[in-house]
Copies of this chain bind each other. A is one copy, B any other.
Amino acid sequence: MANMKKIAELAGVSLGTVSHVLNGTARVREPLRKRVMDAVHATGYQPSQLARGLRRDKTNILAMIIPDILNPFFPGVVRGAEDIAFSNGYRLVLCNTDNDHSKEVAHLNALRTYLPSGLIVIPSDLSDLTTQAEHYRRAGAAVVCVDRLPRNWDGDSVIVDNTEGAFHAANYLIGLGHRQIAVINGPMNLTNSQDRLKGFRRAFKAAKIESPHGYFQETTFDRSGGYAKTKILLKMLPRPTAILAGNDLIAFGALLAIHEEKLHCPDDISVIGFDGLDLTETTSPPLSSVYQSGYQLGAAAAQLALDRVADSNSPIRHIVLKTELKIRESVAPPKNTNGATVPAKKSRVAAASAFSAQ
């Protein structure tokens, strides 16, 4: 492949001049500039990103570290980041950690020698990322945390307002007349789980609801966890009339367990998820959920990383995106409740419109 030397020969200028033309690092008179550009176009020359990176101590690479692309929430985040990266001439390196901190560290170490400009991380857990991040920062790389934050995180970040979203979901159920509301939350070593629980609890407190201890369950963010915990909840007395799930996958597991126990959602028990995945529209019944945009999360993170690359001294930014409660058919007022037939009706309408609006 053509290199700069060949371009220089073709254009009859020196190596340095070619570089200056390409990078705009010095004034070059038009005729010369044109000769260089002509040579570039004629040969289809593209500068070697390796040599460039070696010399500049930084490549046009963004590294993205996520738990698992198979979790349907993350493709959106990745896609958002990749779009922003691509449109700015950056490439995205993708790494899966399976929420395993040692694998995370392994990736972090190995990636460093590629000198990425930025690092977008969905942390595996609360473990201290500060040491690793500091290595990157010292090397001039931007580090942005997304979706959840590690302990003592003092860098750029993008998350959604989990507490607020959870609060609205719980409040909606309370408005329908529910008082026996169980929570199946995600791992409590993740800040998003913690924040969601905070939101649920705030709503309960405001409504003076005191739940039995067993009504709070913790599990992993997957369907089997939701399934197992729901089986437990359905055996409790009094049986919960509603379940708030830490994410949609947990909610899917809940729906499955409810179905298996010959109960009916929403007539016997209401369910609300979190994330608002596309699939919530096609489950039976369609799942109500606190929607958050993974795409926006990823795109904002990539933009933040690029901004920081451009100006490493700008003040640190914490972006908090809004959530939106999407009511579908998985919620109804509790049975045997005297109150709240009006909110019940309202909910059906909301469900129908949200569904058809999709």
B-contacting residues of A (Cβ < 8 Å)? 1, 46-51, 53-54, 59, 61, 68-70, 72, 74-76, 78-79, 82-83, 86, 89, 91-96, 107, 109-115, 139, 252, 255-256, 279, 282-285
Distance between A252 CB and nearest chain B CB, rounded to angstroms: 6
A301 to B283 CA separation, bound complex (whole angstroms):
33
Residue numbers in B under 8 Å from A110 (CB-CB)? 46, 89, 91
In the complex, 28 of the A-B residue pairs with CB atoms within 8 angstroms, ordered by the A residue number, are A1-B112, A1-B139, A46-B110, A46-B112, A48-B54, A48-B113, A49-B114, A50-B113, A50-B114, A54-B54, A61-B93, A69-B69, A69-B78, A69-B79, A74-B75, A82-B95, A82-B96, A83-B96, A86-B96, A89-B110, A91-B93, A91-B111, A94-B94, A279-B279, A282-B282, A282-B284, A283-B284, A284-B284
Most chain B CB atoms below 10 A, which of A51, A61, A282, A285:
A282
- The 4 tightest CB contacts between A and B, nearest first, are A284-B284, A50-B54, A69-B75, A49-B113
B282 touches A50 (CB 8 A): no
Distance between A213 CB and nearest chain B CB, rounded to angstroms: 30
A76 touches B70 (CB 8 A): yes
Most chain B CB atoms below 10 A, which of A78, A113, A139, A285:
A113
A51 touches B48 (CB 8 A): no
A138 to B285 CA separation, bound complex (whole angstroms):
55
Given contacts A86-B95, A93-B92, contact A282 B79 (CB under 8 A): no
A79 touches B91 (CB 8 A): no
Residue in B closest to A279 when the chains form the complex, CB atoms:
B279
B96 touches A79 (CB 8 A): yes
Residue numbers in B under 8 Å from A89 (CB-CB)? 110
Distance between A50 CB and nearest chain B CB, rounded to angstroms: 4
Residue in B closest to A51 when the chains form the complex, CB atoms:
B54
Residue numbers in B under 8 Å from A279 (CB-CB)? 279, 282
A279 to B280 CA separation, bound complex (whole angstroms):
10
Residue in B closest to A63 when the chains form the complex, CB atoms:
B91
A50 to B51 CA separation, bound complex (whole angstroms):
7
Residue in B closest to A49 when the chains form the complex, CB atoms:
B113
Given contacts A94-B92, A113-B50, A114-B49, contact A75 B79 (CB under 8 A): no
A183 to B346 CA separation, bound complex (whole angstroms):
40
B252 touches A282 (CB 8 A): yes
A18 to B252 CA separation, bound complex (whole angstroms):
55
A82 to B139 CA separation, bound complex (whole angstroms):
26
Distance between A257 CB and nearest chain B CB, rounded to angstroms: 12
A109 to B256 CA separation, bound complex (whole angstroms):
47
Identify which of B47, B49, B95, B113 contacts A47 (C-beta below 8 A): B113
Distance between A105 CB and nearest chain B CB, rounded to angstroms: 12
